[in-house]
Amino acid sequence: MDFKGKTVLITGSSRGIGASIARAFAKEGATIIINYVQNEKAAAEVAADCIALGGDAWHICADVTDEGAVKNMVTEILLETGTIDIVVNNAFKPYVFSPEQRKLAWELSWEDYEEQLHGAVKSAHHVCQAVLPAMQKKNSGSIINIVSNLAAFPIVPYHEYTTAKSALIGYSRNLAKELGAFGIRVNCVAPGLVYPTSASELTKEETKEMIISQTPLKRIANPDDVAGPVLFLASDWSRFMTGQTLYVDGGLVMK
């Protein structure tokens, strides 16, 4: 894949899956914007990695749940590069994947759901709204939203997180329908448990073993496993795909 001359905005990319996606784009020559909200040191390190791998990169702080901050970020990117060709909405509200610590259905408040909806859907909406004028102007673009295989198979019922990611799939399909006329594609990538990441660090061995036992490829994904499908959906190799969700979980979910 050749992403030379392409500008890629990846939200929440100072660590974990987002950082792996950034490095993968860098290997293919892209210009990558590392979005972060707290850890500037980590974001700067990812940007440096991307440059060392052959891409161009810089980091930019913006809380993607804040509409004004997103607009300012996108304006800055467009002033610097003149274009945003690819967006990966990877940021989400911090969530601990621990079967023992999760809230049960009768313990959840609406505010718990709302927090995750803001982190997943509201943030993606702000970013999409901000980049759409530039993409519509050039009649092309690719948006990839990172969701979860839990939306199809809640092997552990993380209610509020899974509900938010399910809503993001619905949002993406509607966006794909609306934006196809402008040459803009919208797809989702749905990983299963990804380890190691900060979100999965409390996942116990018995939970991992339970998931592995039900997974045809008999292992858990690492962050690099998610990057390939994202690059595929961003590339011309998938130019006639939109509104789709790719499950990246070793075959745990088969669609």
d(CA 242, CA 173): 8
Report the Cα 91 to chain-centroid distance in Å. 6
Catalytic residue among 36, 161, 171, 247: 161
d(CA 24, CA 230): 9
Q: Which residues, listed in sequence order, are joined to residue 191 by a DSSP beta bridge?
A: 248
Could you tell me if 26 and 105 are in contact, meaning their C-beta atoms sit under 8 angstroms apart? no
Q: Helices marked H in the chain — which ranges?
A: 16-27, 40-52, 67-81, 110-117, 123-138, 159-179, 205-214, 223-234
d(CA 80, CA 103): 44
d(CA 227, CA 36): 18
Task: Mark whether 36 is an active-site residue.
Answer: no
End-to-end CA distance of the chain: 26
DSSP letter at 221 equals B
Give SS3 for 10.
strand
Strands 56-61 and 86-89: unpaired
Q: What values do phi and psi take at 93, rounded to 5?
A: -65, 130
Q: How many helices (H) and strands (E) does the chain have?
A: 8, 7
Residues with active-site annotation: 161
